[in-house]
């Protein structure tokens, strides 16, 4: 489709991501083609996404570009999913999970070129307790860190790593009952990740065999491990080999429930929430069109 006939919305979260020194509005204005038909939608109030949502829905856009971190991308994707609109990403976050999973450059000029070109593909989405996500969701240690990270005044991988180290020594794995398409597994786990994409973000691969468009979810279970195993597990996470670990269990399916006692932190695309006794997850094949 020619750039002249396309209409693009750039949804800008000025409070998101690690690249706050970049004036993203000026960047867009400077680098967009003069023939490009686009609007800027600035998400000013972090507690009021509804007004942004209504602007997206009523704007008759072909492409809606999330300019921010994983949280911004998740919210914009949730609006764009199951419509004729396509999602674009200008990655400004610390993890950039969906951008990395779709091979979208973290260089903003390169990412913008991809948006202007406008080539798309369909990917799956999923729901956790009715909430959409597109990369990963889970319960356990990673969900605990997601909650701590969300309240931190500092962003970036260094902060995430520091928080993980601080929390590791006090963390106690929980017992879970996991049901995947009717198959039941009861086990203690350090964390359980339900993966549509292979990574959490930052090229840390918790489910290397996952695919964004295979119509299934990959349940990655990391069992409790000793201090002596930390370094090896870390290496395997970064080298896409965690599935070869003796502490790792993988299941595949379309409908998953994870049961546990009491309230536990949960995350979806890195966004924290709390669940009581149970989470339910299901795949939504071909839910989202992505510019990549």
Q: Residue 179 belongs to a domain with what CATH number?
A: 2.60.200.40
Cα–Cα distance for residue pair 172/125, rounded to 1 Å:
31
The count of other CB atoms within 10 Å of the CB of residue 277 is: 11
Both 90 and 188 in one domain: the answer is: no
Phi and psi (nearest 5°) for 129? Answer: 50, 40
Q: Looking at the structure, do residues 150 and 280 belong to the same domain, yes or no?
A: yes
**Whether residue 281 sits in one domain with residue 137:** yes
The pTM assigned to this predicted structure is 0.91
Position 213 scores a pLDDT of: 96
Q: What is the pLDDT of residue 94?
A: 85
Q: What pLDDT does residue 166 have?
A: 79
**Torsion from C-alpha of 63, 64, 66, 70, nearest 10 degrees:** -90
127 burial via Cβ count (<10 Å: 0-12, 13-18, 19+): middle
Say yes or no: 113 and 142 in one domain. no
**Residue 78 shares a structural domain with residue 155:** no
For the chain, the domain total comes to 2
Residues 139 and 252 in one domain: yes
Q: What angle do CA 37, 41, 44 make, to 5 degrees?
A: 165
> Considering the domain boundaries, does residue 124 fall inside one?
no
Closest to 288 (Cα-Cα) out of 68, 76, 63, 125: 125
CA 2 from chain centre, in angstroms, equals 30
Q: Which residues in the chain come in under a pLDDT of 70?
A: 1-4, 16-21, 152-156, 160
Q: Which domain holds residue 161?
A: 131-285
pLDDT at residue 4, as a whole number = 53
In this structure, the answer to whether residues 105 and 240 fall within a common structural domain is no
Report the CATH number that the domain containing residue 105 is assigned in CATH. 3.40.50.10330
Rounded distance between C-alpha atoms, residue 240 and residue 218, angstroms: 14
148 and 267 in a single domain? The answer is yes
Shared domain for 151 and 241, answered yes or no, is yes
């Amino acid at each position: 489709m020619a750039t002249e006939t396309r209409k693009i919305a750039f949804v800008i979260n000025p409070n998101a991501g690690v690249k706050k020194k970049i004036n993203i509005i000026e960047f867009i204005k400077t680098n967009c083609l003069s023939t490009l038909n686009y609007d800027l939608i600035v998400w000013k109030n972090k507690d009021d996404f509804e007004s942004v949502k209504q602007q997206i829905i009523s704007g008759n856009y072909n492409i809606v570009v999330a300019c921010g971190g994983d949280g911004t991308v998740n919210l914009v994707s949730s609006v764009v999913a199951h419509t004729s609109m396509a999602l674009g990403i200008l990655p400004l976050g610390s993890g950039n999970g969906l951008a990395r999973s779709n091979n979208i450059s973290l260089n903003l000029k390169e990412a913008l070129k991809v948006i202007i070109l406008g080539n798309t593909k369909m990917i799956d989405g999923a729901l956790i307790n009715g909430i959409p996500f597109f990369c990963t969701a889970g319960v356990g240690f990673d969900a605990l860190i997601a909650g701590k990270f969300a309240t931190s005044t500092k962003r970036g991988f260094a902060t995430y790593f520091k928080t993980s180290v601080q929390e590791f020594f006090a963390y106690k794995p929980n017992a879970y009952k996991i049901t995947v398409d009717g198959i039941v597994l009861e086990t203690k786990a350090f964390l359980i990740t339900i993966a549509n994409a292979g990574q959490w973000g930052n090229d840390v691969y918790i489910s290397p065999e996952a695919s964004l468009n295979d119509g299934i979810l990959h349940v990655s279970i990391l069992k409790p491990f000793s201090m002596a195993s930390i370094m090896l597990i870390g290496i395997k996470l970064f080298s896409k080999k965690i599935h070869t670990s003796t502490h790792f269990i993988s299941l595949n399916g379309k409908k998953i429930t994870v049961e546990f006692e009491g309230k536990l932190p949960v995350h979806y695309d890195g966004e924290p929430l709390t669940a009581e006794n149970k989470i339910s997850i299901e795949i939504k094949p071909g839910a989202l069109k992505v510019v990549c």
